[in-house]
Structure 1
């Protein structure tokens, strides 16, 4: 079926194609996943919601022959002078060096991207991975840094919501926030929180590139009776 990462990536691509401008930085992308869809042609329609001097907001609607299957909203913010002084809380760079060996291959699930696990599959503790896209999202078109981040962000759900017996939650959305877009093709994802009660969950991850942390992703999820493949 069409996975959420593809829908988010296509929405990010369409909004970037219409709204990108030097000096405006993609700061947030929220992707709502309404329903599953088989592998059908996808249409993405964008709407410019606000076009201010410092803030630009755009929406995207994602459809197939089944109707609307998802939507997205992006916020672009104007770059400016960085304030002085020290922040009260600063997310540290993680201690995971860039991968040097081959990515995981085969097993229970072979991902459609290169994946290096830094934590054991379905083991207690925070999930941590490096990932890298190996296929173009659109034929003969390079993946931009913003789209690369949007594709990686969907991995927040399995990474933050997996348990020791697999993934028992399926996410309904994800919200990616970025201080900057990734440099290079490697993105690190580290689970930094999970809460759940009565079959409803929320999870969060921190995203990194080889230079340091770049942003966060938050997901909401529903309990799924049968465990899916974990992180």
Structure 2
């Protein structure tokens, strides 16, 4: 069956270079790639080059420090530390031009921890989610994702007041042509939504994401990733926020985001 524009991947891979399609275009500025896709590419390469059986990606810190033009990129990684129980690796997403690798566009640091049996004792933990399951809610489709909002909520642009902010999100297309989206990449892509979940106001999203840190006790089991905004503070145009992440089986981790005031686009 021929691929349609609706299900085309964000990138095609050409000799180690990721070439974006029109569907990868960001919405903060014309002619740019959406930052969450750079994070997804970095997670993809980190997983392939540094993942190992028994080692779990427990933390990813994504620094989005430059707007990325809608142009090819490459991901370079380095292993910073490799111990018996902890592995640390960094990835840099670089622009590619006619002269070779260009400026760094994003950086992702990963911490992998060795899995083991849990210690004895009881620790108070995040409770199972009481949100309706995703297939019980109407879907809102965008070019990038399927959103399913709780029945008493509206899409981000329509949020008002102090109501509870929670939603299910499912990726609508492959990240790289010919590849399925792994659970790690899927949750990395979804975690970028922590910024609008935490920082959108009744006048829309007026903060642009500077970075986010995703922490995971386990990888998601479902294609749908649930997010609930659980904290927001702001002063002098700087905002920090927090979301809890879920799959259909329960909580999987958290995302902390920092953002800076930005004119609406």
Q: Report the TM range for the smaller structure's normalisation.
A: over 0.9
Aligned to 1:82: 118
For the pair 1:195 / 2:227, whether they are aligned, the reply is no
For the pair 1:117 / 2:153, whether they are aligned, the reply is no
Superposed CA RMSD = 1.3
Aligned to 2:7: none
Which protein has the larger Cα radius of gyration, Structure 1 or Structure 2?
Answer: 2
For the pair 1:92 / 2:111, whether they are aligned, the reply is no
- Corresponding residue pairs, total: 222
Q: Is the 8 A contact 2:134 2:224 kept in 1?
A: no
Distance 2:174 2:133 in 1: 22
Structure 2 length-normalised TM: 0.81
Aligned to 2:214: 176
* Structure 2 unmatched ranges of 5 or more: 1-31, 97-101
* Structure 1 unmatched ranges of 5 or more: none
Question: Which one of 139, 144, 147 corresponds to residue 185 of structure 2?
Answer: 147
Distance 1:111 1:178 in 2: 27
Question: Which one of 1, 4, 7 corresponds to residue 38 of structure 2?
Answer: 7
Distance 2:159 2:114 in 1: 41
Aligned to 2:202: 164
Distance 2:208 2:219 in 1: 26
The equivalences for 1:6-155 within 5 A come to 6-65=37-96, 67-87=103-123, 89-100=124-135, 101-105=137-141, 110-118=142-150, 119-120=153-154, 121-124=158-161, 125-155=163-193
1:25-61 per-residue CA deviation (whole Å, 9 max, x = no partner) reads 0000001001112211111000000010000000001
- CA deviation after TM superposition for structure 1 residue 111, in Å: 4.5
Distance 1:223 1:127 in 2: 20
Q: Is the 8 A contact 1:126 1:160 kept in 2?
A: no
Distance 2:143 2:227 in 1: 15
Q: Is the 8 A contact 1:192 1:206 kept in 2?
A: yes
Q: Secondary structure of the residue that 2:185 maps to in structure 1?
A: helix
- CA deviation after TM superposition for structure 1 residue 102, in Å: 4.4
